[in-house]
Amino acid sequence: MVMNAKVKAYLYLLFTLIAFSSIEVSSKPLMGTVDPFFMTAFRFLVGGLVLMFFVDKQIETKDLLPLTLIGALNGILSMTSLQLSVAHSNASTAATLVASNPIFVSLFALLILKEKHTIRRYIGIALGFVGLIVFSLGMISGDSWLGIFYGVVAAVTFGLYTVLMGKYMKKYTPVSVTAYSTLISSLIYIAILALSGHFYVPSIGISEWGILIYLGVVVTGLAYLTYFKAIELIGTAQSSRVFFLKPIVATLFAVILLGESLSVAKIVGMLIVLFSLFL
């Protein structure tokens, strides 16, 4: 019975890993034809609607506003920055940078929650920053400092989102808080874009719309769901390791599907970041 639960959890995580690692590669071909702001708003609107079908605990009215504001860190700031990183750099670069978010989770947990870390974790945080610097210096054709900047912003804001959302995930359930925060923040995002005159519905073909729907339904909806299901079966510590593998899988996807190349510095920097995440 225990083995069956573990196998089920790892299958959930395999699906999550593949879906999360495909974000940058799937969206890269749309850059230049689909506005990154529209893409993010649409993705989280669709994903939020999918997750609402699986809500297992209602949110109290008084918690909706803080959940929406915290959700905006992810659905508006972090993921828009990720798409802008994809637009201004290689997909593998954006994927590796955003996957470094556990470094910032540890940092914000220390600064905001006053959590105590072991010496090993402090070394991991410092080493993670060294890895990011080495990785950034290994720019190749297709990369830019602007793209790297957006990638780091995506990691920082996602790290802050993770820390601030923690207490609400304990009070309710991960699926419930993610569903509400994702859907409501996406509606606010769409309203902001529309009122500012920057809501551009793209004129694209069926295949491009298929990619957008995939990013919403599979990546932002089902992949989050399977991740939370895995947490229920084997816990957060083991499940969160899926993020450590994202840079490797996403880079493989980028090399195979987009023909991207890697520099020695990028490989070394990626390995340093990966090592730091395990500390």
Distance, in Å, from the CA atom of 51 to the CA atom of 167, rounded to the nearest integer, reads 20
Q: Which residues of the chain have pLDDT under 50?
A: 1
Q: How many structural domains does the chain have?
A: 1
Half-sphere exposure of 65 (CA within 13 A, CB side): 1
pLDDT at residue 236, as a whole number: 66
Rounded Cα gap, residues 263 and 139, in angstroms:
7
Q: State residue 1's pLDDT score.
A: 45
Q: Give the pLDDT confidence score for residue 86 in this predicted structure.
A: 94
> Residue 116: its pLDDT value, please?
78
Identify the pLDDT of residue 152: 93
* Domain range for 213: 2-278
In the prediction, which pLDDT does 234 show?
A: 77
Q: What is the pTM of this model?
A: 0.87
